Amino acid sequence: MDYFFIGDPELVTAFRFVGVGGTAVINAEEAHSALIRITKKVEYVDGTAVPLDAESCRILILTEEVADWLGEELIEWQMNGRYPLIVELPGLSGRLAGRKTLVDSIREAIGIHV
Protein backbone atom coordinates (compact mmCIF):
# COMPACT_ATOMS: atom_id res chain seq x y z
CA MET A 1 0.00 0.00 0.00
CA ASP A 2 1.81 3.09 -1.23
CA TYR A 3 -1.15 5.47 -0.82
CA PHE A 4 -3.84 5.77 1.83
CA PHE A 5 -6.77 8.19 2.04
CA ILE A 6 -8.57 9.60 5.10
CA GLY A 7 -11.71 11.62 4.48
CA ASP A 8 -15.41 11.62 3.63
CA PRO A 9 -17.10 8.23 3.10
CA GLU A 10 -17.96 9.15 -0.50
CA LEU A 11 -14.38 10.06 -1.35
CA VAL A 12 -13.07 6.90 0.34
CA THR A 13 -15.29 4.91 -2.03
CA ALA A 14 -14.03 6.91 -5.02
CA PHE A 15 -10.40 6.33 -4.07
CA ARG A 16 -11.08 2.59 -3.63
CA PHE A 17 -12.32 2.47 -7.23
CA VAL A 18 -8.84 3.50 -8.36
CA GLY A 19 -7.07 1.11 -6.00
CA VAL A 20 -6.28 3.40 -3.06
CA GLY A 21 -7.28 2.15 0.37
CA GLY A 22 -8.82 4.49 2.87
CA THR A 23 -10.69 5.15 6.07
CA ALA A 24 -13.87 7.19 6.32
CA VAL A 25 -13.97 9.63 9.25
CA ILE A 26 -16.73 11.96 10.39
CA ASN A 27 -15.11 13.78 13.32
CA ALA A 28 -11.77 14.78 14.84
CA GLU A 29 -11.59 11.76 17.14
CA GLU A 30 -11.91 9.30 14.24
CA ALA A 31 -9.39 11.32 12.21
CA HIS A 32 -6.89 11.22 15.08
CA SER A 33 -7.34 7.46 15.48
CA ALA A 34 -6.82 6.88 11.74
CA LEU A 35 -3.67 9.04 11.69
CA ILE A 36 -2.20 7.16 14.65
CA ARG A 37 -2.98 3.82 13.02
CA ILE A 38 -1.20 4.82 9.80
CA THR A 39 1.79 6.67 11.26
CA LYS A 40 2.45 4.20 14.05
CA LYS A 41 2.28 1.32 11.57
CA VAL A 42 -0.28 -0.53 13.66
CA GLU A 43 -3.58 -2.10 12.69
CA TYR A 44 -6.11 -3.29 15.23
CA VAL A 45 -7.64 -6.71 14.66
CA ASP A 46 -10.20 -7.80 17.26
CA GLY A 47 -8.76 -5.27 19.70
CA THR A 48 -5.19 -6.54 19.27
CA ALA A 49 -2.45 -4.33 17.80
CA VAL A 50 -0.83 -5.95 14.78
CA PRO A 51 2.31 -4.28 13.33
CA LEU A 52 2.12 -3.37 9.65
CA ASP A 53 4.96 -3.44 7.17
CA ALA A 54 7.11 -0.34 7.78
CA GLU A 55 6.89 0.58 4.09
CA SER A 56 3.12 0.15 3.94
CA CYS A 57 2.09 3.77 3.45
CA ARG A 58 4.30 6.28 1.68
CA ILE A 59 1.73 9.00 0.87
CA LEU A 60 -1.22 9.86 3.08
CA ILE A 61 -3.99 11.81 1.35
CA LEU A 62 -6.32 13.88 3.56
CA THR A 63 -9.19 16.23 2.90
CA GLU A 64 -8.69 19.81 4.12
CA GLU A 65 -11.38 19.24 6.74
CA VAL A 66 -9.52 16.24 8.18
CA ALA A 67 -6.29 18.25 8.16
CA ASP A 68 -8.04 21.00 10.16
CA TRP A 69 -9.31 18.43 12.66
CA LEU A 70 -5.77 17.11 13.17
CA GLY A 71 -4.29 20.61 13.55
CA GLU A 72 -0.97 20.76 15.39
CA GLU A 73 -0.56 16.99 15.42
CA LEU A 74 -0.47 16.97 11.62
CA ILE A 75 1.99 19.87 11.51
CA GLU A 76 4.32 18.03 13.92
CA TRP A 77 4.18 14.92 11.72
CA GLN A 78 4.96 16.95 8.58
CA MET A 79 7.91 18.65 10.27
CA ASN A 80 9.57 15.39 11.38
CA GLY A 81 10.35 14.44 7.77
CA ARG A 82 9.29 10.80 7.99
CA TYR A 83 6.91 8.80 5.86
CA PRO A 84 4.09 8.95 5.06
CA LEU A 85 4.18 12.26 3.26
CA ILE A 86 0.96 14.24 3.71
CA VAL A 87 -1.08 15.56 0.78
CA GLU A 88 -4.20 17.65 1.38
CA LEU A 89 -7.01 18.10 -1.11
CA PRO A 90 -10.40 19.81 -1.00
CA GLY A 91 -13.38 17.77 0.14
CA LEU A 92 -16.70 17.35 -1.63
CA SER A 93 -17.82 20.84 -0.62
CA GLY A 94 -14.74 22.47 -2.19
CA ARG A 95 -11.92 24.49 -0.63
CA LEU A 96 -12.27 25.59 2.96
CA ALA A 97 -12.42 29.34 3.41
CA GLY A 98 -9.09 30.93 4.29
CA ARG A 99 -6.91 27.98 3.23
CA LYS A 100 -3.97 28.73 0.99
CA THR A 101 -3.19 26.57 -1.98
CA LEU A 102 0.25 25.05 -2.31
CA VAL A 103 1.05 27.51 -5.10
CA ASP A 104 0.02 30.44 -2.87
CA SER A 105 2.30 29.19 -0.09
CA ILE A 106 5.25 28.80 -2.45
CA ARG A 107 4.72 32.26 -3.91
CA GLU A 108 4.58 33.74 -0.42
CA ALA A 109 7.73 31.89 0.64
CA ILE A 110 9.79 33.12 -2.27
CA GLY A 111 8.26 36.58 -2.34
CA ILE A 112 6.40 36.59 -5.64
CA HIS A 113 3.25 38.71 -5.63
CA VAL A 114 1.21 38.70 -8.83
pLDDT of residue 29: 93
Q: What is the C-alpha to C-alpha distance for residues 52 and 68, in angstroms, rounded to an integer?
A: 26
pLDDT of residue 37: 83
pLDDT of residue 100: 64
pLDDT of residue 4: 92
pLDDT of residue 45: 66
Residue pair 5/91 in contact (Cβ under 8 Å)? The answer is no
Domain map of the chain by residue range? 3-110
pLDDT tens by residue, the chain, 114 residues: 589 999 999 999 999 999 999 999 999 999 999 988 888 766 666 766 665 554 468 889 999 899 889 988 888 887 887 788 888 888 766 666 666 665 666 677 787 766
Q: What are the start-end ranges of the E strands in 1-94?
A: 3-7, 21-24, 42-45, 48-51, 59-63, 85-89
- What's the fold here for domain 3-110? Rossmann fold (3.40.50)
Amino acid (one-letter) located at 107: R
